[in-house]
Every structure is written in structure tokens, then in C-alpha cells.
Amino acid sequence: MEFIESVTITPFVMIAQDFPVFFGEVVFNGVLTGVLYSLVALGFVLIFKASGVFNFAQGAMVLFAALTLVGLMELGLPVWLAFILTMGAMVALAYAVELLVLRHLVNQPDIILFMSTIGLTFFLEGFGETLWGSNVKKLDIGIPDTPVEITGMLFNSFDLIAALACALLVTGLAFFFQYTPTGRALRAVADDHQAALAVGIPLKKIWIIVWSVAGIVALVAGIVWGAKSGVQFSLSLIALKALPVLILGGFTSVPGAIVGGLIIGVGEKIAEVYWGPAVGGAIENWFAYVLALAFLFVRPQGLFGERIIERV
Amino acid sequence: MLYRETGQFKTTYAADQAIFPIFQDRVFIFALIAFAYLAIPALASEYMLQAVLIPMMIFSIAAVGLNILTGYAGQLSLGTGAFMAMGAYSAYKLTTGFPELNIIVVFILSGVATALVGIVFGLPSLRIKGFYLAVATLAAQFFLVWMFNRVPWWYNYHSSGTITAPPREFAGIMMTGPTATVETRYLIVLSFCIVAGLLAKNLVRSRIGRHWMAIRDMDIAAEIIGIRLLPNKLLAFAISSFYCGVAGALLLFSYLGSAETEAFDIFVSFDVLFMIIIGGLGSILGAYLGAAFIWLLPIFLTNAPQLVGLSMPVDFQKHLEVMIFGSLIIVFLIFEPAGLARLWQIGKEKLRRWPFPY
């Protein structure tokens, strides 16, 4: 009885008490985390749309990008140069993946491609740490980290700038997809590989482009997460946080990744703060999955995913 | 030359349906089982048994289970680690709650408990498919592991949160716990391993197995020809979880001795998935070959530098190992996507014609 009360009544009473200031802070913190989840999920969606590959290595790419950036900065390079070089490294990685892995696995079942990206995950983690070492590194890119007060709520200036940067990146990508010729080609490939080939879109080039873009998205995500909590192995685990976002939003939808990320981010924070104490805390790990699962029962293709039509 | 089936006539339906229809195969498999039961415990070193053979066979049981679900019924699952945890924790609860209960019965009951949990987490498979389902099974992985960490009842309110296999004997021989000899534990695991394989092989050749394969190939078409999806999919989840549960219980009682939830994290799920993919999806033999490959490869990689007289810093070697492991997986997938079971089959075909290919 006590437990039922602590789950069904107490949290709402607490929310009412905390309204609006503390509750607002919780929600906003959720939004910030959500934007970061969206970024990682976006990398997944880009690759899945263009090549049908469920790229598990996205998390490892985040780690690899952040490690490379920090490593280059430790060599004494300025931030902007290190950033550009890391971007170059991610593009090179995209070429290598296409040349060495994807090209040889065309027409294999989805699960084989999925497995190969798990292999890639192991490789990237090992490679990054062999190159740059495995101790926790601090990433300081010179964004001020001071508390800011807006209408009574306390925020962190770093979080605000990060959220803004992510929002800009996401909008930029949306424009890129909608209005440039390359973006149009990408959408064509996503719709139908064979039809895209028939009208003369070079599939291999498209794959390199999406893997590069996903690499750059991973770099941005790596910078933001790395600056918050240090660059270390656990960075590659945020891929696991992005998966519920993915099923919530739909594997094939860019807006879905964004909205899904926000829902998961906010839901997770609220659940942890208000419902966490009743069930023993640390529910962040699985809450997102259960939330996404609940959504799936209603819409099996996710919020914005393409309707699954099955024929015999 | 030796491997010819010429002159072996089948005169009964039973002979036609045998698992090993070729005489030489039967000889080989019985010799292998006899060798495993009689020679290995006498000859192999303790390290060989404890660190190589026991865990390899335990994981092969889990791999058979996952292969039933993923390879035969086509339901991709990433929750293997959690189901193994369920088996380990329920075996622990059962044997500490009822100390008189026969330990073999405890293993089987913990498999049953895991099967029930598997059914619950298999329910989403009726509405969602493919990668969506894979991510949904991750919910099982994270939720169950969280539960075993946070609900003290599961580890008997022990202050460290660890579960330890208590000593239990059967027919006067110590089966588990610190005093059980490594040979005893090896023989228990070996027996489970063989029985599990035999049951699974017969299951997938039966009506149920054919239903599963129809569902795997296309579930709508299967439904149209009159296969009911609900009971068949849930049965696949239940049986697969049963295998994983028994494997988890064995992992705790016969291999680790004491464990925390870290022993059953998501990487265990990935490892088992690797095993069935490298071994060959939809092949019972493949599950065993894959388990051997994935378990032995890291051990080989760890020991290889010493063998050739190379020495390097420990953490560098660790990273190199992970790197090589990852690239070998990719290389393997590129060259033989159908897995080790296919290679085995090709080898057998070659052997039949050797040394006179015609």
C-alpha cells in the first residue's frame, strides 16, 4: 500500500510543490540530455536510411572522434585545427568502412551487416585506445562553464551553448537533406536502392557521404559529452542510450530522432527525480527502454517511422 | 577414402530419420563423446578444464538457446545475458531456500523460471519485428540486471550484493561449491551440454521446428498457411530462455562460484550473438562451433605474444586484442557469412570425394 502510494500519489504532489522553478529546471535538464541523445540517434538514422545498415558502431565513433580530438589537442594543436583534422579522420574512416567492410557485404542479410558493425565497434574502441591511451582525459574547448539565472531557474552556460550548437547542427542537417542535390540523392537512396541506381545516383559515393556525416555528428556529440564527463571508454556506451530514442522515433525518420530524443531525455529525468526514490533509484538505465516499448505497442513503427506494409 | 557411405542401405524409416545417418559420423560422434567423458578429465590440466572447457560448454548451451530463437524462429534477441542472470539468481534462491532439493532439479527449475520470464519479454514480438524487437529485448537486459542489483531479496540481503554457489552434493559426490573438484564440475557441464544439444536437434526437426522456420522465413505467409504465431513465437522464447537459464545457473554453480550482475551484462549478450552468427544461424552444430571459436579466440590472442616470445605492455596488448577480435569478426563475416557450420559441411563434401574427385 505504502509502495503504491509512493508511486501513484507522492510524485505528483512533489511535482505540484516544485512547480514551476525546480520542475522547470528538471524539464530543461531533460531537454539538454535529450538533445544529446538526438545527436547520437541522428547518426544511426542517417546510416540506416541510406544503406539499411543498423550501425551499432555509432557509439564507438563518438568515442573515437572525441579521443582523436583530445589526442591532437594534447599534441599542442589549437582547437580549430584539431577539430578540422578530426573531421578529416572521420571522413577517412567513412572511406575505409566503405572500402573494407560494406563493399564486401552488399546483399547480405541485415543481421550480418549489423554484426559487422559490432565488430567495427570492437575495432574502433581498441584502435582509439591503442593510439591515444585509455586513461580518462579532460576535454576543454574554451566554452565558459558558469551558472546563469533565467527567470529564477539556474542553468549552466555550457549546457545552453551546447544545446544551441546541437540545435543548429540538427537544423543544418534538415536543410541539407531537404534542399541540396546531395540531400535529395540521399533521400532517393533511402526510398529505394534500385530505383536510385537506375536514375544514376552513385550508391557507393552516397554511402561514403552518409558515413562521413554520421562521423561528424559523432564528433559533435563526442565534444559535448566529453566536455561534460571526460573522454573515456564509457562514452561509447551512449549508443545504448540512443537506441530507445531510435525505436521511439522510428529508425527512418530524422524528425523522429529529434522528438524521440527530447521525449526520452525529459521523461527519464522526471522519472529519475520523482519516481526513482520509490523503487530504489538508478532507473535511468532501463526507463527509456520501457517507455519506448510502451510506445511500440501502440505504433510498431515508432512515432514517425514509415508505415510497415507487409505482403506475401 | 574412409568417409564413404557406399553400401550403407537404410531399410527402416527410423534409420532414415537418424540424426547421423552415415555410419562414420556415428563412430566419430561416439568416439568424441567417449573421449570427452573418459580421456579429457584424466588428461587435461586444471587450467584447461576450468578456464577453457567448462565456460566454453556453458556458453555453447546458451548459444544453442539463442540459435533456437534467432536462427530458427527468426526473433532477434539481445537479452541473453539477462536471461542467464535470471537462471543464476533463481537457482541461487531455490537452492538456498530449499537446501534438500537435488541440485540437478534446481538447475532445471531455474530454467523453467527463466522460461516464464522469457515468455513475458517475448510478448512484444507479436507486434514488433526485426531490429525494433532487438532493441525491445534490451529492455529485458537492462531491467532484469537492474532488478538483481536493487532488490536485496534476490541476493538474500547479503551486504556485498554477491551470490555464491553453496556446496551441494548428489549421490555422495560434492557437485558445487568450493570443495567440488574441477573434474566433477566438468562432467556435470558436459552432460548438460550433450543433453541440451540432443534435445534441441530433435526439436528443430519436429513439427514445432518447422513452424519456427516458416515464421522465420516470412511470418505473414506462415500465418496464412495456418501456423498460429502467438503460441509458436512464445514457445520459441520460452525454450530459448530455458536454455539460457540453465546455462546461467551452470555459469554460477560450475564455473564462477560467486558472481555479481556484472557477469551477465550486455556484452555477454553480444558474445552469445557472435557465437551463433560465426557458428551459423539455424544450425545446432554451428552453436557449438561458434561458442568454441568465440571463447577460444581471446584466449589464443592473449597467449599468442608469449608463444612467439613477444612482450608488450599489458594495456597495449589488451587494446590490440580487442582490435584484432573486432577485425577478425568482420573478416570472417566477409569470407563466410553462413558461418562455421557451412565450412564444416563443405569440408565433409570434400572429404567424401577425397582422394579421387570425380
- The answer to whether residue A303 sits within a structural domain is no
Q: How many CB atoms lie within 10 A of CB B303?
A: 9
Look up the domain containing A60 and give its range: 2-298
Q: What's A124's domain CATH number? A: 1.10.3470
Is A144 at the interface with chain B, CB within 8 A? Answer: no
Residue B69, C-alpha cell as written in the block:
530463437
Q: Are B290 and B275 in contact (CB under 8 A)?
A: yes
CB-based contacts of B261: which residues, under 8 Å, 6+ apart?
A: B85, B145, B148, B149
Nearest Cα residue to B108 out of B127, B94, B123: B94
- Residue A310 at interface with chain B, using a CB cutoff of 8 Å: yes
Q: Which of B274, B302, B318, B322 has the highest number of chain A CBs within 10 A, making it the mutation to test binding with A?
A: B322
Is B326 in contact with A280 (Cβ distance < 8 A)? no
Read off the pTM: 0.88
Give pLDDT tens digits for B23-82. 888 889 999 999 999 988 888 888 888 888 999 999 999 999 999 999 999 898 989 999
The Cα A97–Cα A207 span in angstroms is 10
Would A132 be classed as within a structural domain? yes
Q: What is the mean pLDDT of residues A281-292?
A: 78
pLDDT at B73: 92
- List CB contacts (< 8 A) between B223 and chain A: none
Q: Measure CB to CB from residue B150 to each of A129, A134, A280 and give the nearest one.
A: A280
Coil, strand, or helix at residue A155?
A: strand
The string of pLDDT tens digits covering residues B276-325 is 988 988 899 999 999 999 899 888 888 877 777 777 777 777 888 888 88
Q: Compute the half-sphere exposure of residue B62: CA atoms within 13 Å on the CB side of its CA.
A: 39
Cell numbers for A298, please give them: 501502440
pLDDT digits 0-9 by tens, B20-38: 888 888 889 999 999 999 9
* Contact between residue B195 and residue B61 where contact means Cβ atoms under 8 Å apart: no
Cβ count near A19 (within 10 Å): 10
- Helix then strand count (H, E) for chain B reads 16, 4
pLDDT confidence of residue B154 = 87
pLDDT-based confidence at residue B162 (cuts at 50, 70, 90): confident
Quote the percentage of chain B above a pLDDT of 70. 98
Residue A182 pLDDT more than 90?
no
Residue range A233-269, pLDDT digits in tens: 777 777 788 888 888 887 777 788 888 888 888 888 8
Is B224's CB within 8 Å of A312's CB?
yes
B208-253 pLDDT, tens digit each? 999 999 999 888 899 999 999 999 999 999 999 999 999 999 999 9
Whether A307 is covered by a domain: the verdict is no
Please tell me which of A76-80, B242-246, B351-355 the model is most confident about, judged by mean pLDDT.
B242-246
Contact indicator for B122, B130 with CB cutoff of 8 Å: no
Return the pLDDT at B266.
87
Number of domains in chain A: 1
- Per the domain annotation, does A276 fall within a domain? yes
Evaluate whether B222 touches B129 at the Cβ level (below 8 Å).
no
Q: Among A24-28, A303-307, B269-273, which is the least confidently predicted range?
A: A303-307
Prediction ipTM score: 0.82
Amino acid identity at B57: M
Structure confidence by residue, pLDDT tens digits, A206-221: 888 889 989 988 998 8
Do the Cβ atoms of B221 and A312 come within 8 Å? yes
DSSP string, B2-26: ----TT----SHHHHT-SS-SHHHH
Q: Which residues contact B353 (CB under 8 A, 6 or more apart)?
A: none
- Give the angle subtended at the CA of B137 by the CAs of A284 and A33, to the nearest 5°: 30
> Over the stretch B107-120, which tens digit does the pLDDT of each residue have?
999 999 999 999 99
> What is the band of A150 on the pLDDT scale with cuts at 50, 70, 90?
low
Half-sphere exposure of B152 (CA within 13 A, CB side): 5
Residue B337 has its nearest CB partner, among A108, A244, A308, at A108
Question: pLDDT averaged over chain A?
Answer: 81
Please give the average per-residue pLDDT across A40-69, as a whole number.
86
Q: Do A119 and B139 touch (CB under 8 A)?
A: no
Q: Does A130 reach chain B within 8 Å, measured CB to CB?
A: yes
Half-sphere exposure of B71 (CA within 13 A, CB side): 31
A310 is a domain residue: no
- The burial of A299, by beta-carbon neighbours within 10 Å (0-12 exposed, 13-18 middle, 19 or more buried), is given as middle
The pLDDT, as a whole number, for residue B72 is 93
Q: So what's the pLDDT on residue B213?
A: 94
Mean pLDDT (whole number) for A41-53: 82
Residue A118 covered by a domain:
yes
As given in the structure block, the three cell numbers for residue A42 are 541522428
Residue A7 pLDDT > 70: no
Say if A304 falls within a structural domain: no
The mean of the pLDDT values for chain B is 88
**Has residue A108 been placed in a domain?**
yes
Cβ atoms < 10 Å from Cβ of A112: 17
